[in-house]
């Protein structure tokens, strides 16, 4: 119980800190930014009400992947402030970012109290975007990364994204190893074969 409370407190604290950083690093808010603010507020509530997981991955590798997942988007913003990059397609990038924010919000609403950042089993989401891919939240992260880098990018931001995606792939496999213990996983995995990209993988 104490471990569960500490994990929930950590999620609450990290999310609150992210929300503050979002306001500090964002001079002008777009619709995507406001969607992310709403998501952070939802996660604050989830952190206080989510059920205890039946199993959780406390490994160093998973912890490292989670830290990378939280750090690399902010590292890109900070680096671009120090070393401006190249602009490719601001309009196309904004469309992707808004699409990603919307997908992320719908996924979070579908997950509800099952949401967590560390690989764990609290239940199995099979509705909403989970009818098409097994990890729609991670798909939204990829779309957002592409969108932000279309708006502005350089070699370092691309490298950070690749590191972030490597951590994301690790998290997918780590989560599925745990979810395989859920009684409904085999049937779900058989009906939704793609992890991330519909029709591809």
Residue 110 pLDDT exceeds 80: yes
Residue 173 pLDDT exceeds 80: yes
Residue 3 pLDDT exceeds 60: no
Average pLDDT over residues 50-69: 91
The percentage of the chain sitting over the pLDDT mark of 70, rounded to a whole number, equals 98
Rounded-to-integer distance, Cα 197 and Cα 201, Å: 5
CA distances from 198 to 130, 132, 177, 192 (A): 11, 7, 21, 9
Greatest mean pLDDT among 45-54, 69-78, 109-118, 134-143:
134-143
Q: Can you give the pLDDT at residue 4?
A: 53
């Amino acid at each position: 119980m104490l471990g569960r409370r500490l994990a929930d407190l950590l999620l609450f604290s990290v999310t609150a800190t992210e929300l503050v950083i979002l306001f500090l690093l964002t001079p002008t808010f777009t619709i995507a930014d406001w969607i992310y603010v709403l998501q952070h507020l939802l996660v604050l509530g989830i952190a206080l009400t989510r059920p205890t997981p039946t199993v959780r991955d406390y490994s160093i590798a998973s912890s490292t992947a989670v830290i990378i997942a939280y750090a690399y988007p902010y590292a890109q913003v900070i680096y671009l402030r120090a070393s401006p990059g190249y602009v490719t397609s601001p309009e196309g990038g904004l469309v992707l970012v808004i699409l990603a924010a919307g997908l992320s919000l719908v996924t979070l609403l579908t997950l509800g109290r099952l949401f967590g950042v560390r690989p764990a089993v609290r239940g199995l989401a099979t509705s909403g975007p989970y009818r098409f891919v097994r990890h729609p939240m991670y798909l939204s992260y990829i779309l957002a990364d592409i969108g932000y880098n279309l708006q502005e990018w350089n070699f370092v931001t691309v490298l950070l994204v690749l590191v972030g995606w490597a951590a994301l792939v690790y998290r997918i496999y780590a989560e599925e190893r745990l979810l395989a213990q859920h009684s409904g996983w085999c049937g779900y995995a058989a009906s939704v074969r793609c992890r991330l990209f519909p029709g591809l993988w």
